[in-house]
A and B are shown apart, each in its own frame.
Chain A
Amino acid sequence: MANGRLRIKDISRPGDDPLVFMNMSELMPVPNLGEEPSIEPTPQKFIDKYEMSLDGHCSIGIPKPKTKEEEDHLVRRFLSGLEKLFNSEESWTFQQALRLSFDYCVKCQTCSEACHAYLASGRQEIYRPTYRAEILRRIWKKYFTPEGKLLGRFVGADVDVNWRTVTRLAELGHRCTLCRRCAQRCPMAVDNALIARELRKLFSQELGIAPMEILEKGCVQHLRVGSSTGLNPPGMLDTVAFMEEDIGDRIGKKVKIPIDKKGADILLIHNAGEFLSWPENPEAFAILFEAAGISWTLSSEPVAYDAVNYGLWNDDVELARVAARHTLAAKKLGCKKVMIGECGHATKAYVVIADRVLTGDLSSSEIQRESCLPLLWEIIRSGAIKFDPSRNNFPVTLHDPCNMVRAMGIVKPQRLALKAIAPQFREMTPNSVYNYCCGGGSGYAIIQSFNFPQWRNKAGARMKMHQTLQAFKNELDPNKVPFKYLCAPCSNCKGTIRDAITHYGLWDKYNLNYGGLVELMVNSMVDIDRPFIEYEDFH
């Protein structure tokens, strides 16, 4: 238990020693987890070169400043960014929510027990939802408010900004998955997740500092090349051809995947990570949509064949750029609606957040924007396709992607679908809007740099693995129950879950697999004479 040992002001302390370092003996116990890899110490080569002094982990890789000028530059830019964050013109996007969360938190710590990372880490103070918010609040008071300048420590204006404060804060902004479970529990509706998000925005928009996978290889590459995966338009056409061939191999039938089909009702946009890691997911969409007679298309327009919008996590400008291009592509094709595949953040970014970025002819009354989950349930409910649930006669549980459930209220469609096609479906606890994050929210699923995956697996995804093992606790023996399926209708959640299952060895120990919802649907289609899910394959 690290509670109480770490002070708010410690964020500014000098030296390479991390403020905390997770300890195996302090991690939250997980029944049935069995042996797990130990926590590796921070490699010295990282310590020598990069900012690692927060918790010995690193998601960004900020090089240590070499000169006093570089140190001062970091401090200056940080403070200038903080000032802009509270400027209504520069940062209107979340000004009201941020300002009120900042000024009126009563620090009752009711939110702490909601946080999966705080709990999983053994309640390390540094991961408490209020820790980073309080640091930022005290800095703001000290440098920008009259009462802070006049009354100083009395009003809590007592955190110094030096280069260590800045670089540690940049990392600390990336120890919250923005799942907003803390906000849901706050009696004041204070949103510490939003404060974390806005802290990241400060770094991204003012200093250009963000995890490489989110900004440079994320948004920037998405806008420049067409996809955050690096997939360009000709590559997209090749991918579609590959998927058509793969569908033929999998189900013994030919399915034509429409691309750039003018006048289609729906422009379907997948997280392009699916094409590379789980092509069976977009293939399943194609099989279902064709069988149900839906008028739809994919796009080969740059940006519009990749639903991701990493600006959601740290950058309003990048968010707006991507969202606008998605909508413009739909207009160009004459589609009535844009639908996002199984990807939580992309759905929330486009359907909810971008709702007040896209105005006039791009607004929702002109081009509708929806999650795919209601349509998937409608396909089952309407009887457009016949399903045989007995083909999915294995234990299935559901992970609720925070972005589609807690942040959008899409709760029932996926449950109704699973109840209809998976006879051994059971809920995990807690679930629906009260779920725990997978541990990969806000971009952590894709951050593979430095030793960040270790933090994600140990602190981020530990709670989800705990919940999953509890859901299957009576069927863990692989000899008695040879296949278990964790259904996660979200690309980023799947990426995190894949890595966590691998890290904890749960496929080898228990034959615990994972996947999306559409794979289960196709697996139970009466018209297909073979399983769609490959029961021996974990990838």
Chain B
Amino acid sequence: MGIPVYLAWLSVVVFIVMVIYRFSKFNSMPLHLRWEIYPLPLEPKHHYGGSYMEELDYVPKPRHHIRINGILDMASEVFLLKKVREYNIYGMWPFSFSMHWGIYLLFVWMILMLAEGVLNLGVIAPVTNVCGIIALIVGTFGSLGLLLKRISNSELANYTVPVDYFNLLFMLSIFATGLISWITTGQYFFDDARAFLAGVVSLQPAAVSSWTVAHFTLFELFLIYMPFSKMLHYIAKYFTIDKVFWDDILNLKGSSIDKKITSQLSGKLTWSAPHIVQGKNWAEQVGIIDGRDIK
């Protein structure tokens, strides 16, 4: 019974370290060319998709972003899956929405239980229990629904590879073991869950039902696995949205962007097409009309 307790600590450490590592890897990628797309929620003219480039002589004019609009827009995607709901024709939204909320609430449930134990907040126990049950029900419904959807719809199946099914099965197994544990042990499930977490905190493994152990062990393995999988997309999404689709910052002489780009232009190219001269850097390439004149 001790392994899941020690695994819990390991999983949390691996999860945090890997998320930070991945975030910093994404963040340290080279500054890219501008590739924004409209409507751009940070733009004051976002309500009709406009931008500062609609104005004459915009370069020296002051510009500002409305950060709260960006936060609200991103929140509507994270919490409501707005675009899936509006545009997905395969009926994925109810399942995807449920699965995502299952995950959010699962984390909230764990945190609430820890808070109860550590801060002696027994008063919130009913809320904690409801949160846990909702997480398990909607999570099971969502992950099972998505799994069946991907299997049964040939258009989706064409693009779904075994690891995608594995990820969904993994999710399903976490929720389903929790749900089964609750169904089979009733109110004792919550006591078991709290006892398990208390055991984790104190490094004193508690005797709990095997379904509960399975549920928590799978969750711990999920924490370890997730940063290595596509399920880390919530971090990637921050970059694709905020750092690519919403990046409309002008390059001005002497700015930090200017310095970064100037540095990146010093990199040498080895592309092999005839019009490119291998070994010259970006800045040197610009001065050449056609690589064939030099080769």
A residues with a Cβ closer than 8 A to B are: 3-4, 6-8, 77, 80-81, 84, 88-90, 92-97, 99-101, 103-104, 106-114, 125, 130, 134, 138, 151, 153-156, 158, 180, 183-191, 194, 204-208, 215, 219-220, 223-224, 316-318, 320-321, 324, 337, 351-353, 355-361, 363-366, 368, 370-371, 373-375, 378, 405-413, 432-434
Partner of A353 from the list B34, B43, B162, B273 (CB cut-off 8 Å) is: B34
CA–CA, A352 and B83, complex, Å: 26
Q: Are the C-beta atoms of A365 and B34 separated by less than 8 Å?
A: no
- B34 partner residues in chain A, CB cutoff 8 A: 352-353, 355-356
- A158 partner residues in chain B, CB cutoff 8 A: 161
- B35 partner residues in chain A, CB cutoff 8 A: 94, 97, 191, 194, 353
Q: Are the C-beta atoms of B154 and A4 separated by less than 8 Å?
A: yes
B residues 243-274 in Cβ contact with A at 8 Å:
243-245, 250-253, 257-258, 261-262, 264-265, 267-274
What are 19 sample pairs from A and B whose C-beta atoms fall under 8 A apart? A3-B155, A6-B158, A8-B159, A77-B272, A104-B240, A108-B90, A109-B90, A138-B161, A155-B161, A158-B161, A183-B245, A188-B240, A205-B276, A317-B271, A317-B276, A371-B53, A409-B51, A410-B50, A433-B39
Q: Are the C-beta atoms of B265 and A359 separated by less than 8 Å?
A: yes
CA–CA, A108 and B146, complex, Å: 10
Q: Are the C-beta atoms of B49 and A107 separated by less than 8 Å?
A: no
Number of A-B residue pairs with CB-CB distance less than 8 Å in the complex they form: 277
- Of B112-120, B177-185, B219-227, B286-294, the segment with at least 4 beta carbons within 8 Å of chain A is B286-294
- B155 partner residues in chain A, CB cutoff 8 A: 3-4, 109, 125
Q: Which residue of A lies closest to B164 (CB)?
A: A107
- B271 partner residues in chain A, CB cutoff 8 A: 81, 84, 90, 205-206, 317
User: Does any Cβ of A come within 8 Å of B127's Cβ?
Assistant: no
Interface of A is mostly: helix
Most buried by A among B29, B54, B77: B54
Interface of B is mostly: loop
Number of B positions contacting A (CB below 8 A): 88
CA–CA, A360 and B263, complex, Å: 12
CA–CA, A351 and B251, complex, Å: 11
CA–CA, A437 and B164, complex, Å: 33
Q: Are the C-beta atoms of A405 and B29 separated by less than 8 Å?
A: no
- A356 partner residues in chain B, CB cutoff 8 A: 31-34, 251, 257, 261
Q: Are the C-beta atoms of B239 and A370 separated by less than 8 Å?
A: no
Partner of B158 from the list A7, A219, A351, A360 (CB cut-off 8 Å) is: A7
- A96 partner residues in chain B, CB cutoff 8 A: 26, 29-30, 32, 239, 243-244
User: Does any Cβ of A come within 8 Å of B209's Cβ?
Assistant: no
